Amino acid sequence: MEELNGIKIGYAICGSFCTFRKSIDQMKRLVQDGADVFPIMSQNAYSLDTRFGMAADFVNEIESICGKSVIHTIPQAEPIGPQKLLDVLVISPCTGNTLAKLACGVTDTAVALAAKAHLRNARPLVIGVSTNDALAAAAKNIGALMNNKNIYFIPMSQDDPIKKPNSVVVHFDKTPEAIKSALSKTQLQPVYL
């Protein structure tokens, strides 16, 4: 998508480990489209080995794709605001935990602080929800964030309505389109697919 050529995109990943592959594929796609991608990871995403892969392998792959070190600490994330480092910040996957932090103004992780620092410049934040409680405990936080200026969502849908009726996952393939819309100050529609 040539509209993203040269755009400075912060791309943050939280601990929805089962979605890492799809998220990293989008990061790669953005780089291939000419975007300047700054990788950001929550401490859990950065450091925990899971059945979905080893943390160090994910970090190495992401740094190789982006050509930059992963921002994963609060001191590393803080300059994003004062330096006006990014044109747009994407958090995808964004977990229920991070949704709650964003909705309540808690900035005790690198991802949450990156969002706060970025939003102070009135620039778009694009959220890709991936959580098992999106239609339960996290629903109020999604609603609160949808009502905030400069916050946009990548389209999402239930991933398994029968076995996990409260679970929602982002449509990762809509990431570039959602970024483009957010840069134009509009929400990509429909939000729920």
Kindly report, residue by residue over 41-60, the tens digit of the pLDDT.
999 999 999 999 999 999 99
Q: CATH number, domain at 151?
A: 3.40.50.1950
For residue 83, the enclosing domain spans: 2-183
List, in sequence order, every residue forming a beta bridge with 149; answer none if it has no partner.
none
Q: Structurally, how many domains does the chain consist of? A: 1
Query: What per-residue confidence (pLDDT) applies to 3?
Result: 86
Q: Note the pTM of the prediction, 2 decimals.
A: 0.97
With respect to residue 88, please indicate whether it lies within any of the assigned structural domains.
yes
Per-residue pLDDT reduced to its tens digit, 115-162: 999 999 999 999 999 999 999 999 999 999 999 999 999 999 999 999
Q: What are the structure tokens assigned to 69, written together?
A: 């070190």
- For residues 3 and 116, the model is more confident at 116
Which among 29, 33, 39, 32 has a CA at the least distance from the CA of 9? 39
Distance separating alpha carbons of residues 126 and 103, to the nearest angstrom: 14
Q: Tell me the one-letter amino acid at 10.
A: G
With respect to residue 143, please indicate whether it lies within any of the assigned structural domains.
yes
With respect to residue 192, please indicate whether it lies within any of the assigned structural domains.
no
Distance separating alpha carbons of residues 117 and 82, to the nearest angstrom: 7
Distance separating alpha carbons of residues 188 and 111, to the nearest angstrom: 23
